[in-house]
Amino acid sequence: MLMKATVSGSDVKTGGIALHNLQKRYGNAIAVDDVSLSISPGEFISLLGPSGSGKTTSLMMIAGFETPDSGQILLDGKDITRLPPHRRELGVIFQNYALFPHMTVAENVAYPLRMRRMAKVEVEKRVGHILDQVHLGALASRYPHQMSGGQQQRVAIARALVFDPPVLLLDEPLGALDKKLREHLRNEIKTLHKEVGKTMIYVTHDQDEALSMSDRVAVMHEGRIRQVSAPKDIYRRPADLFVAGFVGEVNLVPVKLKSGTVHGPASENLPAPEWQEADRDATLCVRPEHLHLKTSPPGSSGGLQGRISGMTFVGDATIFQFRSETGLELLSKVLNVLPETMPGVGDPCVASWAANDATILTE
Ligand SMILES: Nc1ncnc2c1ncn2[C@@H]1O[C@H](COP(=O)(O)OP(=O)(O)OP(=O)(O)O)[C@@H](O)[C@H]1O
Ligand SMILES: [Mg+2]
């Protein structure tokens, strides 16, 4: 009896990706500089960073459309660094995704399968299934120009998923859409991720998108990964000043670390996490929603002395501008939920925060 060859463990594609010291130059400019990252099977990870930080270049090296100058890319432990794109079998949605305008939705989605010479019956079955998954079953015979931007986007996602790749690479897939639609599709992609269980590597420069969708976020700047953490930790425990400033609003207070305590610009004691290392200058970071302003008689201690210098109503919250006696400008964000009396412009205040809500950075 003929035994069907069993697939050995190393051939099973579960979608684990490892990047080792990836480097890519264009002329003298380094686009990607020593990027290492380990992505678990089924993980949703975002590459977040400003324009030109190397996100697309990193993704294109994973996809095989760019070749690294040095470094290694592993898919489920197998070196794919020099494998052509079609042999990597990864689903890709490009930054400027393009559907074929002369093909219907179903034909667009079937395209990757036809390229793989799959039997017609099987093609129809798979296309029907994936279109249902992205809720486009009813629009299969439309052409791209007869659809909204969000619907076209879902066709692009279906086309990238139809051949059942272990990994889906998405480059700013919602970039061209308006805010409402972006938020809607954000949730749809997240739901789809849960349903299909694929590894997803999602490139974006939109911090809300990265924080709300990802298991982990890798923040990139000038070709390097500055921090890889769960969204909560990226926000609450930024690893450096770039991450602190790029993700959300942040107040920065220049401080001196001395004998385990943190001294502000007027040598006042400031609340901060415990500090054990050597004495030095540093920056204390605290988010506006963690910075509390208390009207107080002059001379009271426990924070920065100063005055309210302005306030802005932003709907759900009020943003207070605070100017310390030493000239620091800080922001305090207060949700407009309580009918409490708010301080007014010109009022003397103490700006303070809980020790655990501050981060000390020493770069
Ligand atoms: N083909 C190329 N030739 C020369 N330079 C390039 C090329 N592709 C990218 N670069 C440069 O490499 C750097 C990283 O580009 P990349 O496209 O990876 O950035 P990105 O983070 O995706 O930015 P964006 O958010 O604008 O899409 C940039 O400085 C860019 O100008
Ligand atoms: Mg890009």
Q: What are the pLDDT digits (tens) for 318-351?
A: 999 999 999 999 999 998 876 666 778 888 899 9
Class of domain 14-241: alpha beta
| Number of H-type helices and E-type strands within the chain | 9, 19
Whether residue 35 has pLDDT greater than 60: yes
Residue 9: pLDDT over 70: no
Give residue 5's pLDDT.
38
Q: Where in the chain is the domain with CATH 3.40.50.300?
A: 14-241
Query: What pLDDT, in 10s, does the model give residues 168-215?
Result: 999 998 877 778 778 888 888 898 898 888 999 999 999 999 999 999
Would the CB of 55 count as within 6 Å of ligand 1?
A: yes
Helix (H) or strand (E) holding 199: strand 199-204
Q: Atom 8, ligand 1: which residue's CA is nearest? A: 57
Calpha distance 282→271 (Å, rounded): 14
In this predicted structure, the answer to whether residue 1 has a pLDDT above a threshold of 60 is no
Residue 103, CA distances (Å) to 47, 106, 133, 176, 208 in order = 32, 8, 20, 21, 34
H or E stretch covering 218? strand 216-221
Nearest CA to ligand 1 atom 17: 56
Question: Which residue carries 């090296």 as its tokens?
Answer: 61
More confident residue, 258 or 343: 258
CB 56 near ligand 1, within 6 Å: yes
Return mean pLDDT, the chain: 90
* CA atoms of 317 and 289, how far apart (whole Å): 10
At the topology level, CATH places domain 249-361 in: OB fold (Dihydrolipoamide Acetyltransferase, E2P) (2.40.50)
- CA of residue 71 to ligand 1 center, whole Å: 18
Looking at per-residue pLDDT, the higher value among 1 and 100 belongs to 100
Residues of the chain with CATH 2.40.50.140: 249-361
Rounded distance, CA 352 to CA 363, Å? 23
Going by pLDDT thresholds of 50, 70 and 90, the confidence category of residue 105 is very high
Taking a C-beta distance cutoff of 8 angstroms, is the pair 159, 112 a contact?
yes
- Residue 71, pLDDT score: 98
